[in-house]
Structure formats: structure tokens, C-alpha cells
Amino acid sequence: MNETMKIIFGLVGGLAIFIYGMNMMSECLQKAAGEKMKKILALLTKNPILGVLAGALTTAVLQSSSATTVMTIGFVSAGLMSLPQAISIILGANIGTTMTAQIIAFKITDYIYLFIFAGFLISFISKKEKVKNIGQTIFAFGLLFLGIETMGDVMKPLASSAFFVNMIGKVSHIPILGVCVGAMMTLVVQSSSATIAVLQNFASQAGPDGVTSIIGLAGAIPILLGDNIGTTITAVLASIGQPKDARRTAFAHCVFNISGAILFLFLVKPYAALIQFISPKGNEIDVISRQIANAHTGFNLVMTLIWIPLIPLMVKIVMKLVPDGKEMGVKALENPNYLDNKLIAQPAAALQLVAKEVMYCAKIVDEMIGKLQSGNGKIDKENAGIVEEKAKILQKLYASINDYFAALYSGGVLTEEQASQSAGMQSILCDIDRIGQLTREIMETVAKQNKGKHKYSKEALKELKKAMEQIQMIYGSCIRAISGDVDMDIKELMRQKEDIMQLDEKMRKNHIARVGKGKCDSKLTIPFNDVLHNIDRIGNSCVNLVEVAKENVTMQAFFAED
């Protein structure tokens, strides 16, 4: 194998190890963080300063500003976050992503295999999930540096290549060319952290004199600016087909990085001098990795400080870029309002969206019950059609949510605690769907009798209305309980279920009495009993919801809000 092929294979192989290690570390950190991720997300609804902090912390955990931006776009698309809030998150995400470069700047070459062995040993021996995740994080951390070391080893021959040195010289002296190179690298790799790691490693190679960097800090900064521009493409792709505010969020990311690149492009030499002044001193090839990391952090810090007070201006800019008007695509009613498949890899965020979707299903069922008990128990054609349509929507949403759960489980991203909570949420969804379908059955039974020869008496319709009113009352209380309403009295809800059972028995006796007096047709007995049976089954499902609430498996556990 010739030298060129060795370099190419070494670069792509080292890059693959680096990206794999970074993604593995991100996944394991999320699992190890657990509840802390939700606390970080809870800051999203606060003021811009806290929003920036939340974006930075979230990105530090996810090890990717693109992942944070995609997650933010998902929240905006679902209507859980306003555009100004989303912009503050993105400002913070750009700071958080510099953490990887800062870590890489530490010279831990002699300890790479120690990290890999220690991480493997902890994850292999430990039985506790959290400790195992910590061990895998350490193992992935070692792999990350192994990838960097591999790339560094194969880059050394490049420093002695006259052709390559001449080509790099051109890039160093034409800043706009460096920006283009950096942007293209990140567009291909889809990770600014990876391309900056390559840049740090390459810059650490000595030039012909054996002392100075082959590219120098002034030559590396334009490439660094290009890396920041290239990373915006992920957000733009994630926003395709999303509501206008989600697209505006993606463009805000572009505006931030492009405006910063343009500004700093005119300040490359003085900025390089400033970074060299505040960074550790020594031989250039020994300190340039840290200088690049500091330049990356400094760039994002300065641009964040500039844009925080100008967030209203940023909003106006992106609203001009994506003006109000006809949406690119209007969601059908039966399509999920909140679920976003791009967030499967971030379970803390994904479960929040699932919880919102489940509560939306609960609202649909409440509206169905409301239509059923209107009109003194009579089901008119309009209400019957509404209940039928909502039942169909509910079934499609039920299937979509379960498919989303399946994707979360198969993705292997859930911790044991999250998986347990998800099972509780699926139980809640199942009972909500069951209540909705039973409501439709009641509607069909009553509507059929209203159209036929044998109709219910006024007394029977009045009792049915009273039963449905009680059902709606207890159902509403149950939904508030699973929503996390701490003021709900669980014992009182159980007592209300007992009242429904007593009413059920009373209604059966009253119907028999009416049949005996000739007020009701005996042929109505079977359908009337079917209605009462379904009301009783709805009551049982409400009890199930109460039992889940008693076990503290509430939707509030998944929400980011305090």
C-alpha cells in the first residue's frame, strides 16, 4: 500500500473512531445524566440568559450543537417554545459545542489506553445501569482520543510534502478560501466538533522548520469560521417541512454563525494575536491546539454577548427571511401535534413530546364525552358525526404514539427509569383510548335506537344524561390527577366511581320498572344494558387512571416545566 492510501485510510479510520466515540459518549452521558437533563430543559422556559445557559449545558451533555438545535426546532414545531426562547437556546448551544475542542486540547496521549481499559472494566463489571453508563462514557472518551491520535499519526508525513505545504500556504493567506474549506469539511462530516478536532490535530504538525505550525493560528481561524457555518446545514435540513417558526429557528442558527464569520473574517490577525496573548505560552506546535480551542470558544462567546440584547432584531431578521403566509404543509387532524422522529436520540425531550401528545388524546376523549351527554341524552346527527370523527382521529393518534414508543425502545436510548415511566404512560394512553372507543360505542347504540321504532323514554334519556355527566366529571378529575394536580383527592375519585356503580344498578332497576309499566319497550333492554355496561367499563378505566396516578406515574414527570 502506497503512502497516500495509508494517509487516506488513517484519516477516515481515525475520524470514524472519533465520531463513534463522541456519539457513544453523548448517548451514555444522557443516560447517566437522567433527571438532570430534565432540569436543564426546565430552564428553557425562563429568560434569555437562562436560555443561553440551558443551551450551553444541554449541548455539553449531547456533545453536539446540531443535536441541541434539532431538539429546539422540534419544540418550536410542537408549539412548546416561542421563537425568542429558541434563539436564546441556540446562542447557548454554540458556546456548549466548544467544550469538545477544549477537551481535545488536553494532551492525554499517554493515558488513552488507560481510559479505554478503565471504562471497559467499569461497564463490564458493574451491574448498576448508572455506573455502567459512567464506565461506557469513560470508554467512549478514550476512543475519542484514540481517533484523534490515529489521525495525528497519519498526518505527520503531510508536513514534509512540498505540494501540501504549498497548498496550505495558499489557504493561510486567503482567509475566504479557508472559510470555504472549513464549511465544506463540516458539510461532508456533519459535525463541527469532528472537523475542528481534525483542524487541531493538523495544526499541531510542525512545518518545514520543525518548530512552527504547518498552518498557524491565523491560517486556522478562517477554517474554524467555516466549520461554524457548515454546521448550520443540519438545522436547515431538520426544519424542512416544519412550521414557519421552526424554519425561522434554523435560519437564526445560520444568521448567528454567518454574521460571526463575516465579522471575524476582517479581524483574523488581531484576533489571532489576542488568542495567543491569553493562551498558554510555548512552542507553537505544542500550544496551538489550545489556541484553536480558545479561538472557538471566544468566537462563540463574543457573538452570543453581541446577540443576546439583539434577540428582538434576530426575530425580525428571520421573520423577513421566512415571512408569514401559507404554511408549507398543514398537519391533518389525525397526525400527531407534538411527536418528532428527529428527537428519538434525545429521550428526555422525546418523552416530553409524547406526554403532550397523550394529554392531547385525553382532551379529544373529553370532548367526545361532552358531545355524548348534551341534548338531554338524545344524540343528534351532528353530534354523532363529531364523536365518530374524533374516535377515528383518536385511533390514528394511538397508533402513532405506540409506533413512537417502539422507536424509542428499539433505539436503546432509554434508561431503566425512563423505560419504566414510559410503560406507565403507555398504560395511561391505553385507558384513554379505551374510554374513547367505549364512548363511540355508547353513541352508536343510543343513536341507533333514536332512529328506530323503539325509542327511549324521557326518564331513560334523563338517567343516561346524568350518568354521562358523572362520567365526564370523574374522567376530568382523573385527567387532572395524571397531569400532576397535587390537590386532587384520590380517595374522592374512588368514591365517585362507587357512585357510578350505584347509579348503574339503580338505572337497571328503573328500566325494568318502566318496562313493567309499559313506559319503555322491552326490546330496548339489551341495548340499554349494553350502554350501562360500557358506562361501567369507562368507570373501570377511570379507576385504572387513578391507580396510575396513585403510583406517581403522572405526565408532569415528563414535562420540562417546573
pLDDT in tens, 4-33: 787 788 888 888 888 888 778 877 877 776
Confidence of residue 234 (pLDDT cuts 50, 70, 90): confident
Which of 96-110, 167-181, 450-464 shows the lowest per-residue confidence on average (mean pLDDT)? Answer: 450-464
**Above 60 in pLDDT, residue 159?**
no
For residue 213, give the 3-state DSSP assignment.
Answer: strand
What whole-number distance in Å separates Cα of residue 436 and Cα of residue 149?
59
| Residue 558 pLDDT | 57
For residue 206, give the 3-state DSSP assignment.
Answer: strand
Confidence of residue 225 (pLDDT cuts 50, 70, 90): very high
What whole-number distance in Å separates Cα of residue 103 and Cα of residue 197?
10
Question: Is 26:57 a contact under the CB 8 Å cutoff?
Answer: no
Which of 93-102, 270-279, 390-399 shows the lowest per-residue confidence on average (mean pLDDT)? Answer: 93-102
Which of 96-100, 237-241, 431-435, 477-481 shows the lowest per-residue confidence on average (mean pLDDT)? Answer: 237-241
**Mean per-residue pLDDT for 305-323?**
90
What whole-number distance in Å separates Cα of residue 507 and Cα of residue 463?
7
**Above 50 in pLDDT, residue 306?**
yes
pLDDT in tens, 255-303: 999 999 999 999 999 999 999 999 888 888 888 999 999 999 999 999 9
**Mean per-residue pLDDT for 77-97?**
85
| Residue 329 pLDDT | 44
| Choice between 69 and 172, residue whose per-residue pLDDT is larger | 69
**Above 70 in pLDDT, residue 39?**
no
What Cα–Cα distance (Å) separates residue 15 from each residue in 66, 285, 525?
18, 21, 74
Confidence of residue 394 (pLDDT cuts 50, 70, 90): very high
What Cα–Cα distance (Å) separates residue 401 from each residue in 146, 184, 405?
40, 38, 6
Q: Which of 344, 348, 370, 349 is nearest to 479 (CA)?
A: 370
- 58-72, 191-205, 284-298, 319-333 — most confident range: 284-298
What the block records as the C-alpha cell of 43 is 430552564
Boundaries of every domain in the chain: 3-321, 341-557
Question: Is 459:512 a contact under the CB 8 Å cutoff?
Answer: no
| Residue 108 pLDDT | 76
pLDDT in tens, 497-553: 777 777 777 777 887 887 777 777 677 778 778 888 888 888 888 888 877 776 665
What whole-number distance in Å separates Cα of residue 292 and Cα of residue 551?
52
**Mean per-residue pLDDT for 432-460?**
77
| Choice between 95 and 58, residue whose per-residue pLDDT is larger | 95
CATH code of the region 341-557 = 1.20.58.220
What's the mean pLDDT when you consider all of the chain? Answer: 80
**Mean per-residue pLDDT for 452-463?**
69
- 204-213, 373-382, 462-471 — most confident range: 462-471
What whole-number distance in Å separates Cα of residue 115 and Cα of residue 264?
37
What the block records as the C-alpha cell of 543 is 379507576
Residue in the structure block whose three cell numbers are 387512571: 545
| Residue 263 pLDDT | 93
| Residue 403 pLDDT | 92
Q: Which of 267, 197, 231 is nearest to 94 (CA)?
A: 231
What whole-number distance in Å separates Cα of residue 193 and Cα of residue 456?
71
